[in-house]
Amino acid sequence: MGKPQHLNFVGFTEEFLLTRQKTKIAEGGIMRESPVITKIEAIHYSHTLDEVGRDYNTFNMVYKPGGKSKQSGTLVRIHTDQGLIGEYPDVSGPTLAEIKMLSSYLIGKNALTRELIYNDLKRGSRHWAMLGMGIVDICLWDIAGKFYGEPLFRLLGGDLQPLKAYASTLHGDENGGLSTAEDFQDFAHECLQMGYQAFKVHGWGLARDNINREVENVLNLGDKFEGKLDLLIDPACEIKNFGDALKLGKACDEANFFWWEDPFQDNGVSQFAHRKLRQLVKTPLLQTEHIRLLEQHVDFIVADATDYVRAGAHEDGGITGAMKIAHASEGFGLDIELHGPGPVHRHIMSSIRNTNFYELGLVHPNLPTTKAPVYLDYSDDLDAIDQEGNVYAPQGPGIGVNLNWDWINFHKTGEEILAES
């Protein structure tokens, strides 16, 4: 399929614009007719990232001079009978597999009934990873924003405001990029000079074999940047056991880190273990990235197993799910920190009080980007901040960013209709 021939700004078709001109709210106050879902479409693409590779176990992307890494993704598009299209790119294979299984349910549904659809998909996905429902929900919010002609942050009750970002590093490597404590120190200094107010370390994949290198990195950063940068660390569940995790936590205390997260290889799911870590380490703990949806997050909070609450629209039931978790956390007096960058998370952050930072990453001193350029006039690369270290939500209707159709069509590998009326 080529570039849509009748597409206007951010997913409006001429059919929709004509319908909107003709459709008026009646004098008696009757609502406009809601858009009905008619088709779910998937456009697949692939591209190559230069100067990157994989670490010892192939799971972590790292800097690798001369390396080439093939990346693939899918643009999901939900069509309606009014010509409105909800769109979201960079959908991964496992998530797409769930969307395929959910697509038939969506046909004929009122695209504005997000709460009903959220609960139906939650029940229908209960034996799966529950990732597909998040992308569906994001697309439905995109449709709603275009239907009302407003950016998502306004639909969520928010306002355009500066969002303080932290530089979230690519994992440490053994290839001369982020290979030593001094490398991380130099990169943190570069980020500070750019305007960043916070810096997060993703350590080495081999942390399970050498906790001392992780500890040295934390202590060195604390010594050099305490009072200048808020310092964060995410071992990404690489540390071998509770004892080594405790060593790192004590180092975070000494270095006055703002938070530490997902330290060891329980995969961030044990409420008991993380409650014990909280009892032994003063540095606030950020958990719940690897559990799903509202109920599991609330259980983790009630168990005193985290200080900050992690959630993401892509993993936790979309914007609907992430907002539920944000408000539940607020009720417990806790802050929520959104996992990963993207325009959707900028909208959510612009609409809640109880949050601290926007995660801008993954970034590296030797790499201009680690992402596919699927958007026009939008970036989550290292230089995306202003001089004060802030980013802002897009202001167009819906998600509010135009897709880079020239790039998508050039890199397209296939397309399919997942369901259609």
Which pLDDT score, from 0 to 100, does residue 30 have? 80
Whether the predicted pLDDT of 14 surpasses 80: no
Average pLDDT, stretch 346-367? 98
Whether the predicted pLDDT of 74 surpasses 70: yes
Which pLDDT score, from 0 to 100, does residue 207 have? 87
Which pLDDT score, from 0 to 100, does residue 23 have? 46
Name the band, by pLDDT with cuts 50, 70 and 90, for residue 360.
very high
The CATH number that domain 9-149+401-420 falls under is 3.30.390.10
Q: Tell me the pLDDT tens digit for each residue of 174-224.
A: 999 999 999 999 999 999 999 999 999 999 998 889 999 999 999 999 999
Q: Tell me the pLDDT tens digit for each residue of 45-68.
A: 999 999 999 998 889 999 999 999
Q: Tell me the pLDDT tens digit for each residue of 273-307.
A: 999 999 999 999 999 999 999 999 999 999 999 99
> Which is it for strands 336-338 and 308-311: parallel, antiparallel or unpaired?
parallel
Which pLDDT score, from 0 to 100, does residue 289 have? 98
Q: Tell me the pLDDT tens digit for each residue of 96-133.
A: 999 999 999 999 999 999 999 999 999 999 999 999 99
Whether the predicted pLDDT of 24 surpasses 50: no
Q: Among residues of the chain, what percentage have pLDDT more than 90?
A: 91
Which pLDDT score, from 0 to 100, does residue 16 have? 58
Superfamily of domain 155-391: Enolase-like C-terminal domain (3.20.20.120)
Q: Tell me the pLDDT tens digit for each residue of 238-279.
A: 999 999 999 999 999 999 999 999 999 999 999 999 999 999
Q: Where are the domains of the chain?
A: 9-149+401-420, 155-391
